[in-house]
Amino acid sequence: MKSLLITLLCFTGLIAQAQNPFNSTLKKQLDSVMILDQKYRDTLTWLMTPDKVTAITKSLGISSSQAINYYSKLQKNIDSANTVFVEAIFNRYGYPGKSLVGDSTSEAAWYVIQHSKKIDNYIPVIKKAAEAHELTFRLYAMLLDRYLMNNNQEQVYGSQMSMRTLKATQKNEWIVWPIKDPKRVNALRKKAGFKDTVEDNAANLDVKYKVIRLDEIVM
């Protein structure tokens, strides 16, 4: 009886181990991908800020537009390589989510896809991961909004901003991309896991929120 119990306990341990697909090697690889994904993005953000761009361009001895093109090209090359790597992971494992690489690393593939031209291809994969709790649902919501904006459709959660020309003023300005249901957007945001309202999110990005329709934008 004792030997049978020991055998069962060992067998149970083997099952538990088999049911835990955590992949430490893949986690390390994706952590490196995450670092590369952000490598030049802070610099590009600084180049959009007048008081910081002068210092950067002086140190490089080039104009701001040349600096933007320079760093954009470097980041674009990284993004392309990251996308190829993540696509290979999708083909082998599906989405590398929380159970495979841990909570924080589960975001890595999402960052790569949102910075790629492959959102249309992989949004179903990311939706499935979010619905299975392998990825924070809020991240899927943000990607869905970006997908809709890229296809000139109304977004759902109000997470996306864009520099656009409005027909009424014929001027370029930063706007919150048109929202499908402005009256319910904050309730939808809360349900999806956003901690702030659409108004507060816009204000944090120095954008004044106002309801805009698609037909008010020059496409």
Supply the range of the domain harboring residue 30. 24-135
Four-point Cα dihedral 135, 141, 143, 145, nearest 10: 180
Same domain as 204, residue 181: yes
DSSP 49: S
Same domain as 161, residue 87: no
Can you tell me which residue has the tokens 């589960």? Answer: 106
Same domain as 113, residue 81: yes
Q: What is the pLDDT of residue 51?
A: 65
Same domain as 126, residue 157: no
Q: Token pair of 148, please?
A: 């809709």
Same domain as 196, residue 167: yes
Residue finishing a domain among 108, 135, 162: 135
* N-to-C CA span, the chain: 76
Whether 198 contacts 158, CB under 8 Å: yes
Taking only the tens place, the pLDDT of each residue in 31-49 is: 999 999 999 998 888 887 7
Q: Any long-range contacts for 87-96 (C-beta under 8 Å, 24+ apart)?
A: 87/118, 89/26, 89/30, 90/122, 90/125, 93/23, 93/26, 94/125, 94/128, 94/129, 95/125, 95/126, 95/128, 95/129, 95/134, 95/135, 96/23, 96/26, 96/30
Same domain as 122, residue 83: yes
Same domain as 41, residue 129: yes
Q: Is residue 13 a part of any domain in this protein?
A: no
Same domain as 120, residue 44: yes
Specify the number of domains making up the chain.
2
Check the CA dihedral 48-149-189-121 and report its sign. negative
Q: Is residue 14 a part of any domain in this protein?
A: no
Same domain as 38, residue 92: yes
Same domain as 97, residue 42: yes
Q: Is residue 15 a part of any domain in this protein?
A: no
Q: Is residue 2 a part of any domain in this protein?
A: no
Q: Is residue 63 a part of any domain in this protein?
A: yes
Residue finishing a domain among 81, 110, 135: 135
Q: How far apart are CA 68 and CA 87, in angstroms?
A: 28
Same domain as 93, residue 34: yes
Q: What is the pLDDT of residue 68?
A: 87
Q: Is residue 141 a part of any domain in this protein?
A: no
Residue finishing a domain among 135, 163, 185: 135
3-state SS, one letter per residue, for 124-144: HHHHHHHHCCCCCHHHHHHHH
Q: Is residue 4 a part of any domain in this protein?
A: no
Segments in the chain below pLDDT 70: 1-20, 50-52, 56
Query: How does strand 161-165 pair with strand 172-176?
Result: antiparallel
Q: What is the pLDDT of residue 21?
A: 85
Q: What is the pLDDT of residue 4?
A: 38
Same domain as 167, residue 108: no
